[in-house]
Chains A and B, each alone.
Chain A
Amino acid sequence: MNPASVLAPVLTVAAKEFRDGLRNRWVAAIAIVCALLAVGLATFGAAASGQVGFTGLATTIASLASLAVFLIPLIALLLAYDSIVGEDEQGTLLLLLTYPLSRLQLLAGKFLGHGAILAVSTTLGFGLAGLVIGIGSDKVATGPLVAALGLFIVSATLLGWAFVGIAYVISAGASEKSRAAGLALVVWFAFVLVFDLGLLGFLVATGGAIGRDWLPWLLLLNPADVFRLANLAGFDANATAGPVSIGAGFPVPLLLAVQGAWVLAPFALAVWRFRRR
């Protein structure tokens, strides 16, 4: 088969998913949440120190990251948890499988569509916020703002994609939509809260004596932490709360590469599970 006929069904599925996302108001909702979050943090970022106003670029990005790390995985899981099991329940999966379309093509199309929804809405939301900050505050130079926000948007998108892949793994193995939803919630909780709490507990219990050299690498096993690390790079590590501070010092390109791996691995696992379904 020529490349065009391999790619055409993928793009057809992607376009349908993206249209679905626009229709469901997913794109609009995510963009608005992102924009409100960013503008709110930029405006009230100094509230802790008793002021209203912009506290500085690095602080804003760091607070944004610590909120986005909860929100984006949740959005991605909600967006994609029913991708396979939902189609199965409405009868369209059986139908699609009788079309000239492989399971890989179907899932790749869905990934492309969901990925585009996340990329477009986060770029729109955070980009808009960046514009507001750039215009509203004279303290921040345009160059660093674009660079920091650009990195933030890219890593936030990669974080979202990783959780879309994880959602597919859940969806490919689930027998009912409601179970997939429950499992997605458990997975979200594990990655954004339990993992860090466990790490923190370990650090406290050992008084930081053990594993100084290998503990930071453990952070790379959690896509949420990788995202946090990527956005702390330009930030004073000592001011960071939580176990993420031990991971400061990884170069940004490495972190982005790890994020990329976190996108590919769950997706590959999802394809494998989908084929066995």
Chain B
Amino acid sequence: MMKLSTPLLPAGSAAMSVPVAAGASALAQTPGSASRHESVIDIDRASVRYGHHCALDGLTLRLDAGEVLGLLGHNGAGKTTTMKLILGLLAPQAGQVRVFGEDPHGPAAPRLRLALGYLPENVSFYDNLSGREVLDFFARLKRAPHAQATELLERVGLAAAAGRRVKTYSKGMRQRLGLAQALLGSPRLLLLDEPTVGLDPLATREFYARVDELRRAGTTIILCSHVLPGVERHIDRALILGQGRVLAAGSLDALREQAGLPLLIHVRGSPGPHALAALPAGSRTRMLADGRFEIALAAHAKLDALRGLLTDPAVHDLDIEPPSLETLYAHFGSAVAGEGESA
């Protein structure tokens, strides 16, 4: 894994310290904290059916404190259903769902929900209220301190627009208001559905810096996103769903290994026969349109190939591209598409 990025702006890093501290204090109050070794989320072979349509088929998932999960899949793959199970909006027809060791659809739900933050996709809030009024409303419902609403508004960069009606907000501003809302009450479990949609690159970067901070503070986060390149560096594990079933689950390294996708090395210059001969067996080479030379090889053979290339003076430059989340996603996603057709 790459190193975690740190917040770009000093304001961002200072801003994060407060909810982190508040999050730690929330640990003592919430119901699940009694059993420390309990997973934050424990889903055991859960299935959800709408009529004949199977929205989720035997999902098993465990998530511990401080883990960040990327929940990926096409529309209708079961992402929203999974979120709804965890949020307690749905009960599985088969299997079991436990959040902080309790049934989120059962009598413990009101208590569990105090420790939970959710950003739904496409939420437009109340047009006639100002950003501050909206956040105050949700803060009161979540029994979060009033001061926290003000802090969060500042943190997401809405302090100047806090008095304006939400009607006048841009898509990105609404999204930031939604994020502030999700962080109210310093939740120990965050479910974020397409959190970076509508955010500009800088705001996206700040958002992921916040995700890293929250993770370090022990917050469990589920990120549901279509914007795969951004999410890659900030998740511990990925869960790829398709047609209600788990296509692949695990850390990115494990997924890469499982997929056996080649690593790509792009070379500028013209590597001599010596360097090419040193490439491990099974490597494929081709010339790209821009004059670069592409070598596709198994990930474990990377160093051998690099040693050969680096000693060749004809090589001017090279870059290495491990199979990205996007390629992994395409790989596992196409697998199910094929199966679906044959079934």
Task: Spot the interface stretch: A16-24, A233-241, A250-258.
Answer: A16-24
Q: Which residues on the B side are within 8 Å of A95 (C-beta)? A: 118, 120, 123, 181
- Asked whether any CB of chain A lies closer than 8 Å to the CB of B233, the reply is no
Convert A56-80 into 0s and 1s, putting 1 for each residue whose CB lies closer than 8 angstroms to a CB of B: 0000000000000000000000000
Task: Spot the interface stretch: B32-40, B107-115, B148-156.
Answer: B107-115
Partner of A100, one of B111, B121, B128, B129: B111
Bound Cα distance A8, B126 (Å) = 20
Convert A76-112 into 0s and 1s, putting 1 for each residue whose CB lies closer than 8 angstroms to a CB of B: 0000000000000011101111111110000000000
Which residues of B136-188 have CB atoms within 8 Å of chain A's CB atoms?
Answer: 137-138, 140-143, 181
Q: How many residues of A contact B (CB 8 A)?
A: 22
Bound Cα distance A207, B137 (Å) = 59
- Asked whether any CB of chain B lies closer than 8 Å to the CB of A9, the reply is yes
- Asked whether any CB of chain B lies closer than 8 Å to the CB of A12, the reply is yes
Whether A16 contacts B124 by the Cβ 8 Å rule is: no
Q: Which residues on the A side are within 8 Å of B143 (C-beta)? A: 8, 100
Q: Which residues on the A side are within 8 Å of B137 (C-beta)? A: 12, 16
Q: Which residues on the A side are within 8 Å of B297 (C-beta)? A: none
**A100 and B123 contact, Cβ closer than 8 Å, known pairs A19-B129, A19-B133:** no
Q: Which residues on the A side are within 8 Å of B141 (C-beta)? A: 9, 12-13, 96, 99-101
Partner of A98, one of B116, B121, B124, B129: B116
The smallest beta-carbon distance between A142 and chain B, in angstroms, is 40
Whether A92 contacts B126 by the Cβ 8 Å rule is: yes
Q: Chain A binding site: helix, strand, loop or mixed by DSSP?
A: helix
Q: Which residues on the A side are within 8 Å of B87 (C-beta)? A: 98
Whether B140 contacts A90 by the Cβ 8 Å rule is: no
- Asked whether any CB of chain A lies closer than 8 Å to the CB of B89, the reply is yes
Whether A91 contacts B120 by the Cβ 8 Å rule is: yes
Q: Which residues on the B side are within 8 Å of A23 (C-beta)? A: 128-129
A-B interface contact total, Cβ < 8 Å: 64
The smallest beta-carbon distance between B192 and chain A, in angstroms, is 12
Bound Cα distance A255, B110 (Å) = 40
- Asked whether any CB of chain A lies closer than 8 Å to the CB of B293, the reply is no
The smallest beta-carbon distance between B261 and chain A, in angstroms, is 37
**A20 and B126 contact, Cβ closer than 8 Å, known pairs A98-B113, A100-B110:** yes
Whether A100 contacts B142 by the Cβ 8 Å rule is: yes
Q: Which residues on the A side are within 8 Å of B113 (C-beta)? A: 98-100
Whether A91 contacts B128 by the Cβ 8 Å rule is: no
Nearest residue, chain B, Cβ from A109: B141
Whether B125 contacts A90 by the Cβ 8 Å rule is: yes
Bound Cα distance A90, B125 (Å) = 7
**A94 and B133 contact, Cβ closer than 8 Å, known pairs A20-B128, A99-B142:** no
Whether A16 contacts B129 by the Cβ 8 Å rule is: yes
Nearest residue, chain A, Cβ from B182: A95
Bound Cα distance A203, B87 (Å) = 57
Q: Which residues on the B side are within 8 Å of A94 (C-beta)? A: 89, 120, 123
Bound Cα distance A102, B128 (Å) = 24
Whether B89 contacts A92 by the Cβ 8 Å rule is: no
- Asked whether any CB of chain A lies closer than 8 Å to the CB of B270, the reply is no
Partner of A97, one of B89, B111, B129, B133: B89
Whether A12 contacts B140 by the Cβ 8 Å rule is: yes
- Asked whether any CB of chain A lies closer than 8 Å to the CB of B311, the reply is no
Convert B266-280 into 0s and 1s, putting 1 for each residue whose CB lies closer than 8 angstroms to a CB of A: 000000000000000
Convert A194-217 into 0s and 1s, putting 1 for each residue whose CB lies closer than 8 angstroms to a CB of B: 000000000000000000000000
Q: Which residues on the B side are within 8 Å of A98 (C-beta)? A: 87-89, 113, 116, 118
Bound Cα distance A90, B177 (Å) = 14
Q: Which residues on the A side are within 8 Å of B133 (C-beta)? A: 16, 19
- Asked whether any CB of chain A lies closer than 8 Å to the CB of B122, the reply is yes
Bound Cα distance A99, B116 (Å) = 8
Bound Cα distance A67, B116 (Å) = 50
Residue among A20, A23, A90, A95 having the largest count of chain B Cβ atoms under 10 Å: A95
The smallest beta-carbon distance between B163 and chain A, in angstroms, is 13
Whether B129 contacts A20 by the Cβ 8 Å rule is: yes
Nearest residue, chain A, Cβ from B123: A91
Bound Cα distance A24, B140 (Å) = 22
Nearest residue, chain A, Cβ from B86: A98
Bound Cα distance A94, B90 (Å) = 12
Bound Cα distance A91, B182 (Å) = 14
Residue among B109, B143, B181 having the largest count of chain A Cβ atoms under 10 Å: B143
Nearest residue, chain A, Cβ from B111: A100
Q: Which residues on the A side are within 8 Å of B129 (C-beta)? A: 16, 19-20, 23
Whether B114 contacts A92 by the Cβ 8 Å rule is: no
Q: Which residues on the A side are within 8 Å of B116 (C-beta)? A: 98
The smallest beta-carbon distance between A78 and chain B, in angstroms, is 15
Nearest residue, chain B, Cβ from A89: B124
Whether A100 contacts B124 by the Cβ 8 Å rule is: no
Nearest residue, chain A, Cβ from B137: A16
Q: Which residues on the A side are within 8 Å of B110 (C-beta)? A: 1, 100-102
Q: Which residues on the B side are within 8 Å of A101 (C-beta)? A: 110, 141
Bound Cα distance A97, B128 (Å) = 21
Residue among A1, A90, A100 having the largest count of chain B Cβ atoms under 10 Å: A100
Supplied contacts A90-B126, A92-B123, A100-B141, 9 more A-B pairs, CB within 8 Å: A12-B137, A16-B137, A20-B128, A90-B124, A92-B125, A95-B181, A99-B141, A100-B109, A102-B110
Residues of A bordering B, CB below 8 Å: 1, 8-9, 12-13, 16, 19-20, 23-24, 90-92, 94-102
A-B contact list, 7 entries, CB within 8 Å: A9-B140, A9-B141, A16-B137, A19-B129, A24-B128, A91-B122, A99-B142
